[in-house]
Amino acid sequence: MTLHNHSDSSGHLLMDAPGYIKPDLQDLLLTDITAKELRVIAEAMEVDYLGPAAFPGMFPAAGRIWVPNHRLMVTLVCRRQTTKEASACNIIFLIDTGSPTTFLCQEAMEALIGKDSHLPQSLWVEIQSEEAILTHISPKGSHFADVNVLGMDFLAQNRVFPIPNWMKRTFILQ
């Protein structure tokens, strides 16, 4: 077993937990959801994907079970956590309880920080509430590079979980 030792800016020693997978090394097999498919989903959900939104959003949030692969898709209001005034936008997420981490695709991250800004590997984002979570850019070359993934970190921090209505192919995140 290998532990990765790092020190933070204060000089404290940091160690990754055994079994920890760094966000930039994670990959999820999501070949059915692409940037183009997110636009189709947005139209079906009657949402302006990456368009302006009123912050904060509210829970419960309504989502759709996207067939044929039964993907849990939900639109949440997001804004960059900053000391300056930040605009909010609608971001469509795929909920993946198998992902420990929340990811934003490049296009969504650009919507939050500006297209001309340097793209960071991670960004503190307020999703649906003023409680920020550390999001990571979906790794280039991965099977989900174009997808925004809502991971278990968000679900646990916000104490929410999807409750499906299988007959209507919808769910609520509460």
Total domain count, the chain: 1
Residue 60 lies in a domain: yes
Residue 140 covered by a domain = yes
Task: Give domain status of residue 4, yes or no.
Answer: no
CA distance 3 to 172: 39
In a domain, 11, yes or no: no
Place of tokens 């959900």: 45
Give the model's pLDDT for residue 30.
78
The whole-number pLDDT of residue 11 equals 46
pLDDT band at 171 (very low <50, low <70, confident <90, very high): very high
Angstrom distance (rounded) from CA 33 to CA 54:
26
Q: Give domain status of residue 10, yes or no.
A: no
Asked whether residue 9 is domain-assigned, the answer is no
14 in any annotated domain? no
Residue 7 within any structural domain of the chain = no
Do 46 and 145 form a contact (C-beta atoms < 8 A)? no
pTM, full prediction: 0.85
The predicted-structure confidence for 102-134, as pLDDT tens digits, reads as follows 999 999 999 999 988 899 999 999 999 999 999
Q: With cut-offs at 50, 70 and 90, classify the pLDDT of residue 143.
A: confident
User: What CATH number does residue 52 fall under?
Assistant: 2.40.70.10
Which of the 8 DSSP states describes residue 167?
A: T
Confidence of residue 23 (pLDDT cuts 50, 70, 90): low
Amino acid at 32: D
Give the range of the structural domain holding residue 155, as residue numbers without chain letter: 19-173
Contacts of 153 (CB under 8 A, 6+ apart): 100, 101, 102, 133, 134
User: Position 150: which residue type?
Assistant: L
